Amino acid sequence: MVHYEIEGGHRLEGECRIQGSKNAVLPMMAAALLQRGTVILHNCPRILDVFCMIRILEHLGCRVDWDGHTLLIDAYELRGCAVPREEAKKMRSSVILLGALLGRRRRAVLCCPGGCVIGERPIDLHLAALSSMGAEICQEEEDICVETGGLHGARICLRFPSVGATENILLGAVLADGETVIRNAAREPEIMELCRLLRQMGAKIAGDGTARICVQGVRKLHGTEITVMPDRIVAGTYLLAAAGCGGSLYLPEAPVRQLACLRRLYACWGMTWREKGGSLYVQSAGDYPAVRYVETRPYPGFPTDLQSPLAAVLLKAKGESCIRETIFESRFRAAEEFRKLGADVQIAGQLCRIRGREKLRGAVLDAYELRGGAALIVAGLMAEGASVVRDEGFLERGYEHIVEDLRGAGAALTCRRSLPTAAK
């Protein structure tokens, strides 16, 4: 158990460097399985989900080494096809190994993946797509076994632009026989980052960043070296913390083009937002109106991963705000915790209504998932007095150094562990 101890009421003033992207690097690590050499990932975040994926890759026969924030993955002796149950239960992203293992080994065994408790998140889109490419699927109790005599190209139209399903199709298609066309594909920057890596490995992909992606299968891929883009969700979390606490924040090498939804919010709030040469400077007086209505949507809409941190900021907005969550059905766990701070929050199905209050009071809060945990940190920084966020490791799945980053910007935030964690 990790306890984040907060003394609220301090303005943020300083600089935060943004780590490499969690949601980009995990599928990139899976992509390393598709070649028989070495893939080198620079700017790789040292977070729990990455360490979990490393253990999976090592179990499958890869050699993985760290050099600072550079990760080297040698997949020459890949021999396994079964993802360890213990690791798959910890991390939802383990599902993207299906496409990579089918492409390289023609067989994959995976138990139903775990991760945060934010909804059902079924993988039927993944399985249906792989089936249309020639995979045979057998499910026994909790295990999914997927086999193929060789994947082939297909025309696939996703009923929802799922990021994970799009990634799995890409990973399966690059070595498949023929052309694969994905319609209603996810457009997230993380999809483009995976395609950038795959192209450097020798894949033929066009259309990423649009709703129609075409992949022409090739016979083999090769190793390469690439720098992982900054994490837009981490950057968004810090920008929302600055908006709610007041003060100024400088983010060098920020993913500014991926943060248009927050730029629009800053404009509505009358706050300063200045971009220059890929860096970002923001300033807030900590005094801002409510947001009448925000709805989470696939990219380029407002990201579900920033819904909870936004809700934290709106706890002190002037007036009533409304957020509709359209991606996950159980992502208001943090909103329920906000009430302990004295917040006026009402939840009805997928709607969360927040009547802003001038003051919040410190409290003991419990994190139940990754982004909700970050939102509780933001809310604690905005409240008066002391708060504690109790967390069973969710935050460290996606934030490498949230305490150091925010303390460097003036936050009174410390971390205490009640039990030792595994060595990183």
Whether the Cβ atoms of residue 189 and residue 258 lie closer than 8 Å to each other: yes
Residue with tokens 């089936």: 131
Q: Where are the alpha helices (DSSP H) in 73-122?
A: 85-88, 97-105
- For the question of residue 116 being annotated catalytic, the response is yes
Residue with tokens 């150094």: 401
Amino acid at 42: H
Whether the Cβ atoms of residue 78 and residue 100 lie closer than 8 Å to each other: no
Two tokens at 47? Answer: 């977070």
Of the candidates 86, 89, 91, the one whose C-alpha atom is nearest the C-alpha of residue 30 is 91
Q: What does the radius of gyration of the chain's CA atoms come to, in whole angstroms?
A: 21
Whole-angstrom distance, CA of residue 271 vs CA of residue 142:
49
Whole-angstrom distance, CA of residue 43 vs CA of residue 188:
19
Two tokens at 401? Answer: 């150094």
What count of other Cβ atoms lies within 10 Å of the Cβ of residue 62?
Answer: 23
Amino acid at 194: L
Given 16, 44, 52, 116, which residue is catalytic?
116
**Cα distances (angstroms) measured from residue 85 to each of 95, 127, 142:** 12, 19, 10
| Residue 288 backbone phi and psi in degrees, to 5 | -155, 155
What crossing angle do the helices spanning 22-31 and 48-59 adopt, rounded to 10°?
Answer: 10
Strand pairing report for 212-216 and 204-206 = antiparallel
For residue 25, the number of C-alpha atoms closer than 13 Å in the C-beta half-sphere is 34
Whole-angstrom distance, CA of residue 376 vs CA of residue 370:
10
Whole-angstrom distance, CA of residue 404 vs CA of residue 16:
9
Whole-angstrom distance, CA of residue 142 vs CA of residue 289:
48
Q: Where are the alpha helices (DSSP H) in 220-350?
A: 232-245, 260-269, 307-314, 333-338
| Residue 192 backbone phi and psi in degrees, to 5 | -65, -35
Non-local CB neighbours of 289 within 8 Å, separated by 6+ positions: 268, 269, 317, 318, 319
Residues with catalytic function: 116
